[in-house]
Structure 1
Amino acid sequence: MARVISTLFAVFVTALSASSDERPQGLLWNRSGLPATLPLLIKTTGDADYLLHLRDVEREKVVLAAYVRGGEFFQVLVPPGRFELVFASGEDWQGEAKLFGVNTHIFTLDQPLKFRATLSQRKGHLIDLTQARGTTISDLAKCQRLALDPESLRNRKGQFDPLLRNPSEAPQPWPKMPSPQYDVETWTCL
């Protein structure tokens, strides 16, 4: 009986350690205190996986971590700010503490990148790590606008008709004007 229990315990411990070292995918954590809404795209080859840390230049601390599987399309939303992008790469993921073991390669992009939003754009970046000659960084923006939903202004029984030309034809008392509704349209722009 003790032998069966020890065997089950060994299987449980092995399964637990194996699951903690499985390759994650995407955002691991965001400790910035801000919403992550700005685009960061990363292109990689299938040679290695990457752990990405965004280090806030102003506060001098890592605020976001994401795991990029090599060769797969990767997009993560990041908070606004100016960040150094620090990458750890390798083939054998061993968890956040050990990264990729003794074969971990760590590098930082040359310049910090700024992520910000305006009324009409969410500005981010595209990082291309596939080129042998070096890393390519491109600006990327997601444009957005509010588009009025015309159905929200249609005359419904007892509601305001915005096309009423003669106010004397208005029902008594004047009905409450409906609140216009808007749809957000988003597209990639430069």
Structure 2
Amino acid sequence: MRHLSLAILLAVLALPAVALERPEGLLWNHSGLPLTLPLQVKSDPGTDLYLQLSDPATGQAVLAAYVRGGAFFRVLVPPGRWALTFARGQDWQGEDGLFGAATEVIALPGPLVFHTEGAARKSGHLIDLRGAGPVLRDIGLCQRRALDPETLSGSWARKHPHGLPDPREPGPFTTPRYDLRSHFCDDAG
């Protein structure tokens, strides 16, 4: 029995590290800033990515996210100038072990700037890691306010038979409500 226990223990120790359950999306944000600017990543199926944004001056990591290979991925990041590093692999071993010995690290050549342009445009980036290497493209998230027509209906139309407003209804000067609508826009805005 002792030899069997020893054999099982040796067999378990000889196995490669067991992959952990794969996370998905934003893992943490230590920037202290709101996450408002778009970052989109395209990746090959079957190979996952661990993304870190760091302060280029100090090297301090401020945000981490997990990208499942081949799946659509978009995350909002804080405003600023950030260095981006990707760890790529298949068997997730956690943030300390990444993808084990097979981890491939991809560091973008320079920091990327994420910022707003006025009140209506949020500038970010698309990073395509499929195939040979990183391809970068600027993207924008444009926003506009759209009038909610429900906030106008009823207050003008419902009147007393003699033309006076119904006191049970909001007055004719009800403040309209606006919805914020967002869409991806090109460089022209």
Fold match by TM threshold 0.5: yes
Give the whole-Å Cα distance in 1 for the aligned partners of 2:183 and 2:112.
Answer: 22
User: What is the deviation of 1:77?
Assistant: 1.1
What residue identity is the alignment partner of 2:185?
C
TM-score after normalising by structure 1: 0.75
Which residue among 165, 177, 184 is the counterpart of 1:188? 184
Partner of 2:52: 53
What RMSD over aligned residues (CA atoms) do the two structures have, in Å? Answer: 2.7
Instruction: Structure 2: state its 5+ residue gaps.
Output: 1-16, 166-170
Offset of residue 110 of structure 1 = 0.8
The percent identity for this pair of structures is 50
1:107 & 1:156 partners in 2: Cα distance?
Answer: 59
- Matched residues in 2 for 1:69 and 1:23: separation? 8
User: Please, which moves more after superposition, 176-185 or 59-68?
Assistant: 176-185
CA distance in 2, matches of 1:40, 1:139: 9
Q: Report SS of the residue matched to 1:97.
A: helix
Question: What is the distance in 2 between the residues matched to 1:39 and 1:179?
Answer: 32
Moved over 3 A (4+): none
Match of 1:13 in 2: none
Alignment partner, residue 107 of structure 2: 108
Corresponding letter in the other structure for 2:87: A
SS at match of 1:96: helix
Separation of aligned partners in 2, 1:120 and 1:24: 33
| Deviation of the 1:154 alpha carbon | 4.6
Structure 1: stretches of 5+ with no match in the other structure: 1-16, 160-168
Q: Distance in 2 between matches of 1:48 and 1:153?
A: 51
Change (3 A) 1:131 1:176: same
Q: Using a 3 Å threshold, how does the CA distance of structure 1 residues 155 and 93 change in structure 2: closer, same or farther?
A: closer
User: How many residue pairs were aligned?
Assistant: 162
SS in 1 for 2:62: strand
| TM-score (norm. length: structure 2) | 0.75
Between the aligned partners of 2:65 and 2:73, the Cα distance in structure 1 is 10
Aligned to 2:36: 37
